[in-house]
Amino acid sequence: MTDFDRNYSMTIDGKSVSAKGQIDVINPATGEVFAQAPDCSREQLDDAVASARLAFKAWKLRPIEERADLLAKAGDVILQHSAELARLFTKEQGRPTEGAAAEIMMSGQWLKMVSQMRPPVHISEDSDAQFIETRYVPLGVVCAIAPWNFPVNLAIWKVAPALLAGNTMVLKPSPFTPLCTLKIGELLQDILPPGVLSVISGGDELGPWMTSHPGFAKISFTGSTETGKKVMESAARDLKALTLELGGNDAAIVLPDVDVDEVAQKIFFGAFANTSQICVATKRLYVHESVYDALRDRLVAIAKATKVGDGSEQGTVLGPIQNKRQFDRVMNLLDDARANNLTLIEGADIPHTKGYFVPVTIVDNPPEVSRVVQEEAFGPVLPMLKYSDIDDVIDRANDSEYGLAGAVWSKNTDEAMRIARKMETGTVWINQNLNLRPDTPFGGHKASGFGVENGMEGLLEFMAPQAVYVAKV
């Protein structure tokens, strides 16, 4: 019987493993340590990689239907324990219980949906002279590094396609949010063969040890652009395959024909869901001058009515910033805005505790060059900016080093599509937000990423093409 409240261990070679060192895990709603996780040593990392390399020999030969069946069973196990995992999730990540449960449920369902995918086989020629077939084969052992904002679901984005493709994996959750992932590793020990999925945890040293380890064939990393550049540099030393899902400064453009009352709530949660700790959240909101005041006032009203607090408390909609490091970054950005006399409009009061709480803050029409516009806050700070000319605002939206996602809001779908096609981002939503699917590719342009996750394109990121030529003598 799995105990979700204590005894957090790593999974290596299908067994629960402790470590000499421990890392503290903090509840961001209180600022207090509530648990400890193993701090993986170099030797234990070597053991995990060796186990994965050995397991790969048999796992890659296992029929894909069998691998898929085990992944579907893994999804069922996560769904069966969603309530316990959700409670633990709220403690370590901070998100209110309903949102925590939604992520756990989606993770189990994601495994089941990905398990139904199959890589293609291409036949270039089948003539009297020769037969040419291109199929896709697994790469080997995958190094997977997941972030703290969606610690379970974004880990599953890596686990599901990698294992379905026939790879094995060593997965490292963020040191800020390791617990749910460790428990999932424990739950899956009875489902997956030893070594197919190892889950290890550790501090800041563990990530660089992993990315430089010669036993990995591929790195799949989700995190900041700054760290992603370091991962890419490390991968280049021995030409590891690489997928990077990095930062964004996503722009939404609101056209003058919108019904403000109809779109305001959708726009609000597209910016502030998960306390804005979403790589594809709206982070710059460009609003036509004719509807600017009305939309601003409606968003402010929603902000003032939205409870911010401890995710375990009834009625809480938005929780804390997940960790002190990110909290300090957001507060620094707000301090800079105040120092430059920008107009900040705050929403509901926040708890006066040691937790990492930041009020929902709308920045009223700041200059384009201000830090709050140019930098990704990754916290509940939304600059609203006026525009009058559509071509000019498209240029402003595209004038960013990032290109992850964007949104257009309009009653005129044709005009919205015209604008969407001009946006320099990997994903564009029209009259919606934050909609991602396992069968649709997701990737960033410019400094927002390298490679693709999800969809058939994402599955093939974990495989290599192999062409076979057969002469018919």
The residues annotated as belonging to the active site are: 245, 279
Give the Cα-Cα-Cα angle 205, 162, 279 (nearest 5 degrees): 60
Distance from C-alpha of 113 to C-alpha of 209, rounded to nearest angstrom: 32
Q: Are strands 130-138 and 463-471 parallel, antiparallel or unpaired?
A: antiparallel
Residues facing residue 142 across a β-bridge? 169, 218
How far apart are the two ends of the chain, measured CA to CA in Å? 61
Report residue 61 as tokens: 């030969």
What phi and psi values does residue 266 have, to the nearest 5 degrees?
A: -65, -45
Report residue 382 as tokens: 């939304």
Output the CA–CA distances (angstroms, integers) from residue 195 to 143, 165, 415, in the order listed.
13, 15, 52
Extended beta strands in 167-227, E state: 168-172, 197-199, 218-222
Report residue 351 as tokens: 């708890």
Report residue 378 as tokens: 């990754």
**The tokens 């579907």 sit on which residue?**
72
Other CB atoms within a 10 A radius of the CB of residue 313 amount to: 14
Give the Cα-Cα-Cα angle 100, 221, 312 (nearest 5 degrees): 15
Length of the chain equals 473
C-beta separation of 252 from 423 below 8 A: no
C-beta separation of 344 from 363 below 8 A: yes
Distance from C-alpha of 197 to C-alpha of 167, rounded to nearest angstrom: 9
Distance from C-alpha of 329 to C-alpha of 276, rounded to nearest angstrom: 13
